[in-house]
Structure 1
Amino acid sequence: MPTACRALGLGRTLGYELARRGEFPCPVLRVGRRYVVPTAGVHALLGLGSATRPHGSAAVDGGVEPTQGA
């Protein structure tokens, strides 16, 4: 939640208040007492397109992507 708030330019208190009211600008999941904001929703809201890279593409930092089951 705090990372999503920073990315959206919201203060932490306002972000949590919006989440409690169901008015956060992207989907929020309630996991126990925690609020979890999936990165895909934040990326979509910011117009960053798909949150994942196409299969087989190189990692941005030049690292090796993990294989399935790793």
Structure 2
Amino acid sequence: MTMNINVPTERHARSRDDSRWEFNLYFTLIFLFAVPFATVDWLKHVKRRRTLNLRGPLARAWAEADRITPVIFSA
């Protein structure tokens, strides 16, 4: 015997959109906060290795935001 539960899909879609909006807000804030630190770190690596063949500061900040934001939402 299977039990079917009818739940309005509009309610779930709206909550999913709300959480996506919140995720994007947090991601943006973390990214903007990480840019100066990633720039300093990138400049130190450029000076130490004497090459520009490294991931740039924006790629580093993006990676940090991409790593940290899901951790916040999994808690």
TM-score, structure 2 as length reference:
0.24
User: Rg bigger for which structure?
Assistant: 2
Greater strand share, structure number = 1
The structure with the greater share of residues assigned to helix is 2
